[in-house]
Each structure stands twice: as structure tokens, then as C-alpha cells.
């Protein structure tokens, strides 16, 4: 590590470090995948038994980053051992479910905090559970699910004769970046025999940081976890994982055993044909991006990236406090730094009855100004009864303290006359 350049882990392209590598990757893709991979004289697949392939591809992630030569070899091997679906002799699957349904189920109710992602409600609607059967659990003043309230709601639902079946906890809420108390929620799930799902889409990347991974204590008790490396770890969109504790349950839920696609009488071990496990049929292997990044950065690289983001959030917080026009919504726990911009015209007027109404209009107006000027983009939103506020969420570890100063100066410039 000693000989490594400073900031080598930043999620920003650096011409001196990356230009030659990207040119080499492009050349390799063109040569091996596009041209060699589609020539009739070359094989459609270089078949190896899956166990052997595991060794050949050197799949296990490492602590330290791989060298460019090793990364090029990893890409070359991946191409080499992949089925060449663009080959003219590839005439296979096209690359371009449970029986009773809810009809025989009692009324099923699930629980999620009032700050959980909207996808929980969408999922309930799509599955036919009904959005009104998502019980919204109160949060405390830091945005964390109140586990005592959760238990009281579970008891209330049982008393109505309905059946609670799942709690969705969030590790890193979308707006405030709060971490629900996973151990206490896990205890409720164990007590009432509920499925414990953790939405760690945003916060899951903290697992890489030895300084910050304590926020995810209790994650190991989950029945299922969703984690999106395309968020905190800055993997290219889209790269989302669902990890499930119970072996075979996904297959049992989803497999349709369509014999015209998932033949059982193949010459190799069909238990590693995963296609039928998924909801969709023809999709690419998004996990490759994560695996390749992990190889390139090593666990250490992801750790440095995450720590740099947390440091940046703490710098933003300290800087905001020193500026009279900025007011924190709450003490940040994660990368989400939420704040109001209070222009001079509104300062000192907090007690006036229409203060919140006026403040609510400031962030959208400033967003419009920044977008029309093209100087930067920062998102804003209301939350529960709070008027619109900005949410500063840095996912790019290449953002420097000077960049933060620029953001705050620019906000001051845009908001000065409002």
C-alpha cells in the first residue's frame, strides 16, 4: 500500500491512471468479445465444469486491489469462458409463480417505518397484498423506527384477526440516512415469528468500513437483505442484490421449471443453472460490475471510499454550522446531510406563522436557479411535516473539501436575493 498514489480509490476517472487501462479494455473487448468471439472458426463456448471454472476465474475477492495486468486478465478470462451469444452458431436460449396465490391466505400485514422507501408500498400493491396492509411504524426524532411502537402495532394487528408476516427495516433511509435499530426489530420478529427483511440498499456499503460498520449490527439476523452497490459503492447502474438466508427458498418460490429452457438432463450439474430462480428470464449478470470493482479496488479500496464519504459528510456538517444562512435539519448519522437554506429575508422570522410556508418555497426556487445556470445539482424534498430542505448526499469519493466550499458558496450566491 505504501507505494500507492494518494487518493487512488477515488470514484473519479484520472487520466494518468485510467486512460491507458480503459484503452486496453476497449481493445480487449473489441478483439476477444466482438471479433474473435463471433468468428465461425472459434468455439461458441470453452466449456469447463463449474467447480473448475471457479478456480480458473479466481472469483474470490481480495483485501488488496489487483494490478491493471491482473484486471485485464480477469476481463480476458471472463470473455474467454463466457458463452459467445453473438456467435453465429449460438442457437440457444434467447438472449436479446406459486400455485394457490393469495386467494387462500388470511389478511396479511407487513410493517415498515414511515420513512421507508416507497418501493415497499409499490411491492405490496404489485403482489396483491394491498398498500393499506403496509402498517406504517412511527420513527423517533432521528428518523429511526420506534421498535416499541412496532411491537404495539404487531399486537394491534393480531387483535384484529389479521396476520402480521414481515417487518422491513431500513439501514440508511433515503432522506435522513437513518439506521433502524436492527437488533430490537430482530427481537420483535423472533418473538412474533415474522420475516425480517432489511433494506440496506443505501447503507449496506458501510459493511466495508471497519470504522462505521457498527451501524449495521444486527444485519446478520435478517432473513433477507437488499443491497445496492450502485448507490454507496458507486458501481455503475444497475447493480442490486437480494441476499437471502434460507437456501433454496427463492427457487421454491419462483422456479417454473419450463422444460423448454431449463432442461434437467444436461451433461453437467444443473443445480448451478440459476436462471429459473429469478423473477425475470433474460437479463444480464449485473453482479459482474460489483465483482470486477471489488477485484480492482480490493476490500481496502471500498473501505477508503466509504470512509472518505463519511469524512466529507462531516466536513459539510461542520462548514454548514459556520454559515448563518444554513440550518441543519438534524445531526447527520450517515452521508445524508439535510439542511435548510434560510435567506437573509427570512432570518430571525422563525416565530412568524407563515415562516414554514415561505421556507418551503426556497429550496425549489434555488434548485431551479442552479439548474438553469448549470452550476451544480443538489436534491431537495419535504418530509412529513417539515418544509422542503436540501439533502446533500455525496457518493463520489473524489469530491474534495474545496468542492464542498464551492457548493456552499454557490448556494449562498443563488439564495442571496430570495
Ligand X SMILES: Cc1ncc(COP(=O)(O)O)c(C=O)c1O
Applying CB under 6 A, the residues found at the interface with ligand X are 117, 119, 170, 172-174, 199, 201-202, 228, 240
d(C-alpha 349, C-alpha 362), whole Å: 14
Sequence-ordered list of residues with C-beta below 8 angstroms from that of 327, at least 6 positions apart, any chain: 339, 340, 342
CB of 367 to ligand X, least distance (A): 18
Nearer to ligand X, 146 or 199 (CB): 199
Nearer to ligand X, 174 or 397 (CB): 174
> Could you give the angle at which helices 287-321 and 401-415 cross, rounded to 10 degrees?
60
Residue ranges of E strands in 114-223? 134-137, 163-170, 195-199
d(C-alpha 178, C-alpha 143), whole Å: 5
Given a contact cutoff of 8 angstroms between Cβ atoms, the answer to whether 94 and 44 are in contact is no
CB of 330 to ligand X, least distance (A): 17
Nearer to ligand X, 329 or 362 (CB): 329
Nearer to ligand X, 37 or 143 (CB): 143
For 413, list phi and psi in degrees, rounded to 5.
-65, -45
* DSSP notation for 275-316: GGGSSSSS---THHHHHHHHHHHHHHHHHHHHHHHHHHHHHH
d(C-alpha 325, C-alpha 347), whole Å: 8
Nearer to ligand X, 117 or 297 (CB): 117
Nearer to ligand X, 146 or 304 (CB): 146
CB of 314 to ligand X, least distance (A): 21
For 360, list phi and psi in degrees, rounded to 5.
-55, -30
d(C-alpha 171, C-alpha 200), whole Å: 5
CB of 347 to ligand X, least distance (A): 32
CB of 54 to ligand X, least distance (A): 28
CB of 175 to ligand X, least distance (A): 8
Amino acid at each position: 500500500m505504501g507505494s500507492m498514489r494518494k487518493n487512488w480509490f477515488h470514484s473519479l476517472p484520472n487520466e494518468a491512471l485510467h486512460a491507458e487501462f480503459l484503452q486496453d479494455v476497449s481493445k480487449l473487448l473489441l478483439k476477444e468479445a466482438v471479433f474473435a468471439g463471433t468468428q465461425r472458426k472459434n468455439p461458441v463456448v470453452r466449456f469447463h465444469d463449474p467447480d473448475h471454472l471457479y478456480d480458473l476465474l479466481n472469483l474470490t475477492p481480495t483485501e488488496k486491489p489487483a494490478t491493471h495486468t491482473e484486471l485485464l486478465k480477469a476481463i480476458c478470462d471472463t470473455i474467454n469462458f463466457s458463452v459467445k451469444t453473438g456467435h453465429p452458431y449460438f442457437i440457444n436460449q434467447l438472449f436479446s409463480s406459486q400455485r394457490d396465490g393469495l386467494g387462500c391466505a388470511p389478511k396479511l400485514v407487513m410493517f415498515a417505518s414511515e420513512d421507508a422507501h416507497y418501493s415497499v408500498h409499490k411491492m405490496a400493491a404489485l403482489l396483491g397484498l394491498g398498500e393499506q396492509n403496509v402498517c406504517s411504524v412511527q420513527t423517533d426524532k432521528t428518523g429511526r423506527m420506534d421498535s416499541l411502537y412496532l411491537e404495539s402495532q404487531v399486537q394491534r394487528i393480531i387483535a384484529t384477526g389479521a396476520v402480521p408476516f414481515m417487518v422491513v427495516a431500513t439501514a440508511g433511509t433515503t432522506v435522513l440516512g437513518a439506521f433502524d435499530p436492527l437488533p430490537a426489530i430482530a427481537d420483535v420478529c423472533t418473538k412474533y415469528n415474522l420475516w425480517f427483511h432489511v433494506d440496506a440498499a443505501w447503507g449496506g456499503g458501510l459493511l466495508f468500513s471497519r470504522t462505521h460498520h457498527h451501524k449495521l449490527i444486527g444485519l446478520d439476523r435478517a432473513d433477507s437483505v437488499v443491497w445496492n452497490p450502485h448507490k454507496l459503492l458507486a458501481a455503475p447502474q444497475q447493480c442490486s442484490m437480494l441476499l437471502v438466508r434460507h437456501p433454496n427458498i427463492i427457487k421454491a418460490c419462483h422456479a417454473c421449471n419450463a422444460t423448454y429452457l431449463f432442461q434437467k438432463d444436461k451433461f453437467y450439474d444443473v443445480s448451478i443453472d440459476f436462471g429459473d430462480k429469478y423473477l425475470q428470464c433474460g437479463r444480464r449478470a449485473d453482479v459482474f460490475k460489483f465483482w470486477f470493482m471489488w477485484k480492482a479496488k480490493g476490500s481496502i479500496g471500498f473501505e477508503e471510499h466509504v470512509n472518505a464519504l463519511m469524512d466529507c459528510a462531516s466536513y459539510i456538517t461542520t462548514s454548514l454550522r459556520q454559515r448563518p444562512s444554513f440550518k441543519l435539519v438534524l445531526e447527520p448519522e450517515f452521508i445524508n446531510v439535510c439542511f435548510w437554506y434560510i435567506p437573509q429575508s427570512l432570518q430571525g422570522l422563525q416565530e412568524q406563522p407563515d415562516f414554514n410556508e415561505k421556507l418551503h418555497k426556497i429550496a425549489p426556487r434555488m434548485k431551479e436557479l442552479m439548474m438553469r445556470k448549470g452550476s451544480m445539482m443538489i436534491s431537495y424534498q419535504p418530509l412529513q411535516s417539515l418544509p422542503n430542505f436540501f439533502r446533500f448526499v455525496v457518493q463520489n469519493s473524489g469530491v474534495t473539501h474545496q468542492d464542498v466550499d464551492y457548493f456552499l458558496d454557490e448556494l449562498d450566491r443563488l439564495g442571496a436575493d430570495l
